[in-house]
Structure 1
Amino acid sequence: MSNQPIIITTKLKIGISACCMGCPVRYNAKGWDLVKSLGREKSDFVWVPVCPESMAGLGVPRNPIHVVGADGRAIWTNEAKVVNRGGAEVTDAVKAGASACMEALERADITAYIYMDGSPTCGVYRTTLKKQKRGNPPGVFGALLLDKGYFLIPASDLQSPLKWWDWRRRLLAFHWIKTVEIEDMKTLYAVWHQLKFICQELDEPWARALGKKLAAVNREAFMDFVEVFRSEIMMVLRKPSTPAKITNRLWKHYAHYRKASGKSIPEINEPTFKRNVTTIAGELIKMERAAVDDGILFGNTPVIYRHRKPDYDS
């Protein structure tokens, strides 16, 4: 590892609520193709769509369902139940559908899941639509997603270029720190150097504290520290950033890029320049491409996916 971006050439597998890929599996036989908002970037991932309510055998169309009791977690401890609009209990069927979907995600070995908030099954932080108040989050399937520790992305954020950029770059870093081997102190320091800039952006007080812990680690405590180190970074990478933080860091890293490469990117504006989130996302993507082409670490995006071209000479 060095002062260059980490390049991932294997497509990440992402689970997704099937209705978000346009599958007409909602209770009213509708769905939304939110993934199309990603444009060509859609092909950078392998998608694994699932629908707990369809796998429950409830059919399409169907009566909408809701949780009666504390929340979706209580379903799994038999302290709540799921009923449909007609009053029929469908708890066992929904649990079976959620379990079947989780088994499919585990077989696929996914890294992340894109969930539909507002669903009594897939919802993570909200399980009702509009201003209805029926049950508390998480949903029945959402509870399993949280317990599994997946990198969770709300489907609505796929429609915002800047929010998706933020999720995507944190997801790639999350996947890398989850899988990278850290066998000695030298590698530990190198991994922190690679990720410290994005961690500082997301939570600077925490990053400073971790840096001090890292400096004080002795070889006897190395293995225990590595697992804490990995776990804490994965937790911080789940935190969304803000446009202000992103643009300030972009300008800071762009200054480093200009100094290191002797090149400039005219499209990148100062943080105080007024522009919309689509323009900011475009600037970030240009910065990413330039950093990869010139082999310079862009701290905002320390891990990059690039399609591996076929080797026709082999």
Structure 2
Amino acid sequence: MRKENIITKEKIEIGILKDLLPHYELEKLEAAYPELRFIQCRKAPETDDIHFFIGPDPSGHDPFGASVDLLKDPIAFWDYKRRVMAYTWLKDLPLTDLTDLYEAWYILKFLCQEIHNTRARKLGRDMAALEVQSPPEVLELFRSEILLILTKPSSSARIRGSLWKNYSNQLKKTKTPLAGIKTPEDPRSEDTLLEELRILEKEALATRLFFGTSPILYKETEEKDAEKSK
């Protein structure tokens, strides 16, 4: 299996409490994150119609329930975005046999190791020990374990470490440094982290070089691309 980012053209719907943000700020957020579609709600959804919700306070029953404070931290929100995309992809992915599980883990393991290294590496070892003819309930158990990891937030330091590890692997193949990518030791790197993440996401879309820090990427349809170019 060639390791490439999974490309989706489906937007992820995020519920957000009505009037939580001024309309112009919500529009700016949607412009910055075209992979997300914000659905304004008068109250927290009580059904599974909306899987992700941002309100005044974190929701106790929703593993991805987040407060408005998330929107004030650009790196935390980017982390939230990539995790809900990975979660949605894996949740909907058919797992018919062990190969399907291995291939899904192949795509998501770097993100999971970044979030919780010890837990993710044990999960990988347990997966490697599975019988080839593992029954569906075993595959689903592993899916659930991966999904649980994806509900947990990362940190700027761990994201920076993952970015640099993935970028270093990329450099070994291309031998071509990318402008704008800072070393972890660069004192400016904390201020430019979000910009660098977006550079590498765009590079992954353009070159199909795997960027494991953000394994599921959104690409707009050709119609949308054409509209923007007008």
TM-score normalised by the chain length of structure 2: 0.88
CA distance in 2, matches of 1:283, 1:19: 31
Q: Which shifted more, 190-199 or 272-281?
A: 272-281
Query: Within 5 Å, which residues of 2 pair with 1:253-268?
Result: 253-268=166-181
CA distance in 2, matches of 1:161, 1:292: 22
CA contact (8 A) 1:14 1:113 kept: yes
The alpha carbon displacement at 1:219 in A equals 3.7
CA distance in 1, matches of 2:111, 2:89: 13
2:208 maps to 295
Query: Within 5 Å, which residues of 2 pair with 1:153-192?
Result: 153-192=66-105
Q: Bigger relative contact order, structure 1 or 2, given CA contacts below 8 A and separation 6+?
A: 2
* Secondary structure of the corresponding residue to residue 102 of structure 1: coil
Question: Is it true that 1:211 corresponds to 2:124 in the alignment?
Answer: yes
CA distance in 2, matches of 1:154, 1:260: 41
1:196-248 deviations in whole A, cap 9, x for unaligned?
00001011110111011101111443312211111111111111111111111
1:222 maps to 135
The alpha carbon displacement at 1:276 in A equals 6.1
1:75-94 deviations in whole A, cap 9, x for unaligned?
xxxxxxxxxxxxxxxxxxxx
CA contact (8 A) 1:15 1:112 kept: yes
Question: Is it true that 1:102 corresponds to 2:46 in the alignment?
Answer: yes
Give ranges in structure 2 of 5+ residues lacking alignment: 225-230
CA contact (8 A) 1:9 1:307 kept: yes
Aligned residues: 224
2:4 maps to 4
CA contact (8 A) 1:173 1:303 kept: yes
CA contact (8 A) 1:166 1:241 kept: yes
1:231-269 deviations in whole A, cap 9, x for unaligned?
111111111111111111111100111122332212111
1:109-134 deviations in whole A, cap 9, x for unaligned?
333111211xxxxxx3xxxxxxxxxx
The alpha carbon displacement at 1:34 in A equals 5.2
Question: Is it true that 1:282 corresponds to 2:226 in the alignment?
Answer: no
Structure 1 182/41 Cα, relative in aligned 2: closer, same or farther at 3 Å? same
Give ranges in structure 1 of 5+ residues lacking alignment: 24-32, 53-97, 118-123, 125-141
Aligned-residue sequence identity (percent) comes to 30
* Secondary structure of the corresponding residue to residue 114 of structure 1: strand
CA contact (8 A) 1:2 1:190 kept: no
CA distance in 1, matches of 2:158, 2:2: 25
* Secondary structure of the corresponding residue to residue 106 of structure 2: helix
Letter in 2 for 1:102: E
Q: CA RMSD in A?
A: 2.2
TM-score normalised by the chain length of structure 1: 0.66
2:228 maps to none
